[in-house]
Structure 1
Amino acid sequence: MDVHTAFLNGDMPADLILYMRQAPGYVLSENPHKVYQLVKSIYGLKQAPRIWYNLLHKFLTSIGFERCNKEYCLYVQKVGDSNDDWLIVVVYVDDLTIVSRNAQLVKNLQVELNKRFKMQDLGDLHYILKMEVKRNRVDKTMSLSQTKYIHDLLAKFGVQDSTAVSTPQVVGVDLVAEAIMTQDEIAKQPYDYRGLVGSLQYLVRGTRPDIANAVRELSKFLSCYNKTHWDAALRILKYLKGTSSYGLFIDGKMANVSYEVYTDASFASQNNERKSITGYLIMIAGICISWCSSKQACVAKSTAESEIIALSEGVKESEWLSIYRDGIPSDKANGRMV
C-alpha cells in the first residue's frame, strides 16, 4: 500500500521552529517581507522523513504492532494463538508491504490505515525496489529477480546487442591499480566506471550473489581505473545478459525451515597485500538471505587462520539475522547449521 503525500501528514514537533518565505503567487501585498512559521511538515524539509516515520510508528504501535528492536522498518503483530494470526508490515518510506496468512487480518489493517491516512491499495506485490516478485500460489513458490533492471543497464551502457558470456570474471587475470585520479580527472573519463560498478553493487545487494566476488574486485579501483577495468565491468554486464532471469527462489512446500551458514576463504589471494578473501552464504529454507565477498582486514598467516576469520564473519552475520528469524512466525523452524 502507498501513502498519498505521506510527508504532509506530520505535525511539526513543539521543540522545532522553522520558517519559510511566502510562496510565489501567495505573497501578502500588505506584508510581503514576512515569513510563515511551519505547523505541518512539508516536502523539502530535511526533517520531513523522520517526522513522517515517527507519526507512522505511533499509529502502528497504537493498533497493536511491535517494532523489531534491531530493524526499525519491520513491524509484527500477534492477533491470535495460531501461526495464521500474525501480521507483518515492512515499511519503505511511504510504501507498506503487508504479509499474513490470514487475508481477513490484512483487510482489517487496510481499513485502519485508510481511516488514518489517504492510502492507495496497489494490490499484490509484483515490483519493489527494482525487484520483480513472481508468485505461484498453486505450487506455493515465489521468485525474486531484477530482470528489468538488468535490461535497463544493458541499454544504458550500450551492450544490449553484445554476445553473452558464461562467467562474470576471467580466471587468472589480475587487475592492477592505476595512479589515483583527481575528481576532475575522473569527470573527464570517457566511460562512467563508477556509475556502472555502483549499479552492479545494487544487483549484488538485491538478488545476485553470483556476481558478488567479481564486483568486489572492481570496487577496489573506483579512483584508479583504466580501460582494462572498464572492460572487466562490461564483461559482468554481458554475463548478466545471458542470466537476466536468475534470482532467488522460495519453495513454500519445504518440510523444514533449515538455517544454514556456509563460509569459505581464499588464502592470500591479493598478490600485493597477501590478504585473504572471505566468502559466506546464509540460507533459510533453501533461499539465500545474506551473502558476502570481502577482503579480510588482517593478514592471515595460514589457510586455517583465513578460514577461521571467514567462519567468524559468517557466524556474526547469522547471529544478527537470527534476530529477525526469532521474531517472525514459523511452524517449521529448525536450529542453525554452520
Structure 2
Amino acid sequence: MFDEVIFIRQPSGFAKKGLESLVCKLLKSLYGLKQSPRQWNKQFDDFMKSQGFTRSMENPCVYLKRVSNETLGLVILVLYVDDMLIVAKDKSEVEKLKAQLSAEFSMKDLGPSKRILCMEIHRDVKGGRLWLTQGKYARKVLERFNMLDAKPMSTPLVNHFKHQLSTVFCPLDATEKGLMSKVPYESAVGSLMYLMVCTRPDIAYALGKVSKYLANPGKVYWEVVKWTLQYIMEYGFLFYAHSHQARTLVGYVDSNYA
C-alpha cells in the first residue's frame, strides 16, 4: 500500500464510457512508478523481519537469521531488486525459507545458483572448492573496446607507467583534448571497476591510478588502461571449504612486479 494518495488518468483503451473525465485512485503500486521500488522493498523487509531475520547494518541487501541449533550457524539471504541468493549450512533451512517466500510472493525457483550480476559460480562439491569468476563479462569488455585479440599481459601495471601517471601528461590545448574526447576512457575505466569490485581486486591499484584523470585524460593514461584490459583473463576467487586457512581470506600480490 502507498503512504500517500495517488491518482492516474484512465489508461488509453480502458476508459469507462461516459466517465472519461474521471481519474483512477491507485490501490497498490504499479511498475514504472517512482514509489514502486520502495514499496516492494518495504513489503519484503517487513516480511523478512516477521520471519525472524535481521537486516545487516553494513549491507541493507543482506538478511541474517541464526537458527536454533548453534552448530548450523546462520541462514543468509542476499537480495538484488527481486533476485535472491539463499545460503545456509543445513539445506532444510534453505527449503524452509523458500517455502515461506513462495507462500507470500509469486516466485520461481531456479535451483543452485550458477550466475548472478555477471558473476559465474562454479562448484567442485567433492573437492570442497568454489570459483567466483567474471569470464564472460571480461570477454564482453574486451570485445567492446576492440581488445579481444590483443596480446595478454601478466601484470595489471608496469613500473615505467607509474612515472608517467601525473598531471604533467594531461592535454593542455584544445587539439589534444579534442582527440582524447573521442577515446572511450571513462567507459573503459568504469567497465574495469565493476570487475575490480566483484572478483578482481588485483587490478585495484592500476584503476586507482587511472581514475584520478577521468576529467582530463592524456594519451599515456589510455595506454595504461589498454594495458590493464590486456591483463584481465579468466581469473577470479577460489574458495576452499576444507583448509587450515578456511576461516581467513588470504590474498597474494607480486608487490615489486618482478
TM-score range (shorter-chain normalised) is 0.7 to 0.9
Distance 1:159 1:70, change over 3 A: closer
Cα deviation 1:146-165 (Å, max 9, x = unaligned): 11110000111111111112
Alpha-carbon shift at residue 285 of structure 1 (Å):
3.9
Matched-pair contact (CA < 8 Å) for 1:126–1:134 = yes
Aligned match of 1:99 = 87
- Specify the SS of the correspondent of 1:27: coil
Distance 1:40 1:91, change over 3 A: same
- Cα distance in 2 for partners of 1:121, 1:154 equals 33
1:237 paired to 2:229 = yes
- Cα distance in 1 for partners of 2:76, 2:5 equals 35
Cα deviation 1:153-211 (Å, max 9, x = unaligned): 01111111111122222312313223498xxx789932211111111111111111111
Alpha-carbon shift at residue 100 of structure 1 (Å):
0.8
2:211 to 215, 219, 222: 219
Please list every run of 5 or more consecutive structure 1 residues that lacks an aligned counterpart in the other structure. 1-10, 259-283, 289-338
Aligned match of 2:170 = 177
- Specify the SS of the correspondent of 2:159: coil
Matched-pair contact (CA < 8 Å) for 1:179–1:224 = no
Question: Comparing both structures, which one devotes a greater share of its residues to strand?
Answer: 1
Aligned match of 1:87 = 75
Alpha-carbon shift at residue 230 of structure 1 (Å):
2.0
1:122 paired to 2:110 = yes
Aligned residue type for 1:219: S
- Cα distance in 1 for partners of 2:224, 2:204 equals 14
Matched-pair contact (CA < 8 Å) for 1:218–1:233 = yes
Aligned residue type for 2:28: K
Alpha-carbon shift at residue 48 of structure 1 (Å):
1.4
- Specify the SS of the correspondent of 2:24: strand
Aligned match of 1:248 = 237
- Cα distance in 2 for partners of 1:19, 1:224 equals 47
Aligned match of 2:192 = 200
The number of aligned residues is: 245
- Cα distance in 1 for partners of 2:178, 2:23 equals 43
**C-alpha RMSD over aligned residues:** 2.3
- Cα distance in 2 for partners of 1:60, 1:12 equals 19
1:63 paired to 2:51 = yes
Distance 1:137 1:62, change over 3 A: same
- Cα distance in 2 for partners of 1:21, 1:38 equals 10
Matched-pair contact (CA < 8 Å) for 2:8–2:24 = yes
Alpha-carbon shift at residue 232 of structure 1 (Å):
1.9
Alpha-carbon shift at residue 70 of structure 1 (Å):
3.1
- Cα distance in 2 for partners of 1:286, 1:229 equals 31
- Specify the SS of the correspondent of 1:237: helix
Matched-pair contact (CA < 8 Å) for 2:186–2:214 = yes
Alpha-carbon shift at residue 80 of structure 1 (Å):
2.0
Aligned residue type for 2:250: G
Matched-pair contact (CA < 8 Å) for 1:249–1:287 = no
- Specify the SS of the correspondent of 2:2: coil
Matched-pair contact (CA < 8 Å) for 2:180–2:218 = no
Aligned match of 2:256 = none
- Cα distance in 2 for partners of 1:230, 1:22 equals 53
2:35 to 24, 47, 53: 47
- Cα distance in 2 for partners of 1:194, 1:18 equals 40
Aligned residue type for 2:170: A
1:286 paired to 2:216 = no
What stretches of structure 1 move > 4 A for 4+ residues in a row?
A: 185-188
Distance 1:25 1:186, change over 3 A: farther
Matched-pair contact (CA < 8 Å) for 1:248–1:287 = no
Cα deviation 1:12-45 (Å, max 9, x = unaligned): 22xx122222222212332333322222111112
The alignment's TM-score, normalised by the length of structure 2, stands at 0.87
- Specify the SS of the correspondent of 2:70: coil
Alpha-carbon shift at residue 216 of structure 1 (Å):
1.0
Alpha-carbon shift at residue 256 of structure 1 (Å):
5.3
Matched-pair contact (CA < 8 Å) for 1:142–1:251 = yes
Aligned match of 2:220 = 228
Aligned match of 1:210 = 202
Aligned residue type for 1:71: N
- Specify the SS of the correspondent of 1:232: helix
